[in-house]
Amino acid sequence: MADTYTRRRELARTVLRHAQGKPVTYAELARGGIDNPAQAVYGLELQGEAVMHIAGGVALAPGSIAPLPESAPD
């Protein structure tokens, strides 16, 4: 079973991918069940994800957003 840090990071990645490049606030990430959303986003950056810090939140850079699988988990 993945540790809490890994789970938060992967959940943040999923939320940002579903936003399709639109900004997501840290408050929205927290409401989505991600404790310490800034740490989760930082973890994505450490893994090499291109995260844009923009007014209104954070988003994955357009070129870094891989297509979602056909049966994406809820």
66 falls in which pLDDT band (50, 70, 90)? Answer: low
Report DSSP state, residue 33.
Answer: T
Is a pLDDT exceeding 70 seen at residue 21? yes
**CATH code matching the domain that covers 4-64, chosen among 3.40.50.2300, 1.10.510.10, 1.10.10.10, 3.40.1160.10:** 1.10.10.10
Helix (H) or strand (E) holding 23: none
Relative orientation angle of helices 37-46 and 4-18, to the nearest 10 degrees: 80
pLDDT at 64: 67
pTM metric for this prediction:
0.78
Please, is 14 exposed, middle or buried when counting C-beta atoms within 10 Å of its C-beta (0-12, 13-18, 19+)?
A: middle
Q: What is the largest CA-CA distance in the chain?
A: 35
